[in-house]
Amino acid sequence: MRLSTTPAVLVLEDGRTFRGSSYGAVGETLGEAVFVTAMSGYQETLTDPSYHRQIVIQTAPHIGNTGITDDDDESGKIWVAGYVVRDASRISSNWRSIGDLSTRLEESGIVGISDVDTRALTLHLREAGAMRMGIFSGPAAEADEKELLAKVQASPHMAGAKLAEEVSITQPQLIPAVGEKKFSVAALDLGIKSMTPQRLSERGIDVHLLPATTSFAEIQALGVDGVFFSNGPGDPATADAQVDLLREVLGAKVPFFGICFGNQLLGRALGFGTFKLPFGHRGINVPVMDRTTDKVEITSQNHGFAVDAPLDGETQAPHDESFGRVAVSHVCLNDDVVEGLQCLDLPAFSVQFHPEAAAGPHDSSYLFDRFIDLMSASQVAQA
């Protein structure tokens, strides 16, 4: 593969610029700048709907080494708004590869930039905080930098963005249980990755994948044993409809499990607030303490918002006394951010990370089994 020599420029909303070469499609793109610390799994990152309207910066210096394969896609398309790498690989060397990453980016219309000092860029974002960014290549890169900066500063912020409905399916889908069916679950698609329903189905669960606009009555009509809320993009403060739905689920004492965006929505449903992190957690190497077992897990994460809940002890759910007591079950060891919630008087829990491990470590796969235990205990209690 011959790498592009077309000039490109990256412009941050504070005016800092980086120049490099076009990578992928030529043109311009705008979005929130986020950096990903994973050393592998770039294809899973690119196809994760949680990155909708974000420009991904890879901190790993060499990207594209293993090419691409359809088997690693986590959705039907590349969702990132743009892509920033330091050294784009000239060859794809892997027995599973069916093509090179640069071509896939170009075919998908993803504007990217290579030959950028991603270390300097990442350090700048760690100090200055998350901000909007633009990538301009080809003729677009020839414009005056003041003009490009104005475009970046006129682009929408991530805070206040309502995006889950933009990435969700529009019609229900059924992912059948593998082998003997043990349970059925309603999974609300807020930007779900394909490996998540697979992890559920391989445990004998019929997964009813549902649009983000699904009502509680529609879930009840399915007669499911549990409800699952997925990961997804945007500001959890905008997801009022899904929070109201979750409160109905909690009120009916239907077993609930949420991950990532689903964790933030459980926090809101219980009455806690959410807030935007300075630069977020994105990678497959984030250490988390599971307080229920005292084990440290290396987790896969992708979030820019977090739940604002007391870290220590039990707390009465602020929204409704009938929801009972809540405890923070998981904590990030890097910065003490809430990484999980556990309801002590209701069959509900959530985590802020990705237990499906695509891409990522498998330390947290037990959480799907914990969900099964919750549904089993609920059935016994109702018998």
For this structure, is 356 an active site residue?
A: yes
Q: Which of 260, 297, 330, 339 is catalytic?
A: 260
Q: Which of 52, 124, 303, 354 is catalytic?
A: 354
Q: In the 8-state DSSP scheme, what is residue 303?
A: E
Q: In the 8-state DSSP scheme, what is residue 318?
A: S
Locus of tokens 């249980």: 177
Question: CA torsion angle for 277, 282, 286, 288 (degrees, to 10)?
Answer: 50
Which residues are CB-contacts of 154 (< 8 A; sequence separation ≥ 6)? Answer: none
Peptide bond just before 359 cis, omega within 30 deg: yes
Q: Which of 13, 44, 339, 356 is catalytic?
A: 356
Question: What is the spatial distance between Cα 113 and Cα 247, in angstroms, rounded to a whole number?
Answer: 44
CA-wise closest residue to 13 among 29, 33, 28: 33
Question: CA torsion angle for 20, 24, 29, 31 (degrees, to 10)?
Answer: -90
For this structure, is 142 an active site residue?
A: no
Question: What is the spatial distance between Cα 371 and Cα 349, in angstroms, rounded to a whole number?
Answer: 8
Q: How many residues does the chain have?
A: 383
Record the tokens describing residue 107, joined without a space: 């075919």
Locus of tokens 């990207």: 63
CA-wise closest residue to 200 among 216, 223, 178, 221: 178
For this structure, is 260 an active site residue?
A: yes
Question: What is the spatial distance between Cα 292 and Cα 101, in angstroms, rounded to a whole number?
Answer: 41
Could you list the active site residues? Answer: 260, 354, 356
